[in-house]
Amino acid sequence: MAPKRNAYSLFAAVSFVLLACGRAAAGEGVDPNASFHPTPAPPPAATAPQAETQRRPPPALKQTPRAQTVRQPAAPVSRALPPSPGETRFRPNEVVVEFSGRAPAAAVDALRRRHRLDEIAASRILLLGEDVRVWRAADGRSAAAILRELSGEPLIAAAQPNYTYALQQASDAARPAVAGQYALGKLRVDAARSLASGDKVLVAMVDTAVDETHPDLKDAIAAKTDTIGGALWSLDHGTAIAGAIAARGAIEGAAPKARLLVARAFEASPSGPQGTTMSIAKGVDWAVGEGAKIVNMSFAGPPDPELRRVAAAAAAKGVVLIAAAGNAGPKSPPLYPAADAGVLAVTATDADDKLFENANRGKYIALSAPGVDVLLPAPNGGYDLESGTSVAAALVSGVAALVLERNPGLSAEALKKTLVSTARPLAGAGHEAEFGAGLVDAMQALGADKPAAKTQ
């Protein structure tokens, strides 16, 4: 038996050597400690990484299909913004819908018809570079219901209620005992008259129409537009605001040589003159296009995403926006557009520098100006005593025009800083929520224009 084992061992050794030589010829290493088994050799080592690469694709390849799925209709939903709970200051069955300028008109119209809506207004808002439309449901659907239906439409850039705004002024027929204007003296405009009068400065007002025949407003209006159409049923508020800014007769405004751009954006309603998101957006857009440096907004209402974007776009073009803080009283939440970032909110004070009793309060208040029993022009050649933050805002717009006349190159931010930093504090520290920085001072603002210009 021993000779057989030796023969077998010799055969195995020879076979092992031959196999090793074959592997060496193929470029493989040989483990001298390895045992020999008469089984097929495993696949070449290079094969394993190739198979592993096929089974485990790079992470980017795995995520690509999921990213494409996420992009589909989720984004448009967040752009249809319903009114806040409890908010009622909007047209109940209307929505403002914004489309990219690239949206095909036929596709937009098909979308409107599919949702059974009537188009009542349409305009290209150049400040936004978008087409804006107002759609109405004739079948009684609410604005919130319409917005829910439109929320999944990818063609829509933004959608919201057509919010409404009220003018911030109360009129009282002028009493014969009223002999003059305390307002200009309080603002020290009278003392500054030899320095500036607003000459050639374009001040826009988004308001009602104005009685252009009033003798105190002769040649005051440089241009006008009508964003709503229809009969000119009310001129009262617009005439008073125009007078506060630029009257030049028996009554003088803060800037009697300023030139007015009048955008009619308020129409009749059961509760009084009413403007909307659409009419106001069109008015501001037109005013900026006409070259306005200052836009007066003597109205107030709810927070409005569309108007916030319009105001921001106007500010980005170097326009100063001045707004009435509101007449809703001390317990009212902030009113807009005054409470929007970048807008100067103005409250009203009386002849004794006391706060107007109906004025809003809040951290958004920037400045104070007279706004109680201020004598201003009225339609048909008359005069009325006017009260409200509307009047105060208009007077500040006039003072801003004085500063711009003195320094036409002043940036919008520098102009706002000048008005705020030179205001006279009222009631001491801790009352900023009532008076803001204080009472506007035309003389100080005119003396501070050069230092403020360095902040451009």
Catalytic residues: 207, 237, 390
CA gap 366, 372 in Å, rounded: 18
Whether the CB-CB separation of 379 and 386 falls below 8 Å is answered with no
CA gap 82, 66 in Å, rounded: 30
CA gap 156, 437 in Å, rounded: 42
Whether the CB-CB separation of 435 and 426 falls below 8 Å is answered with yes
Q: Would strands 382-387 and 274-276 be described as parallel, antiparallel, or unpaired?
A: unpaired
CA gap 251, 273 in Å, rounded: 25
- Tallying the residues shown for the chain, one arrives at 456
Cα distances (Å, whole numbers) of residue 287 to 2, 238, 263: 116, 15, 7
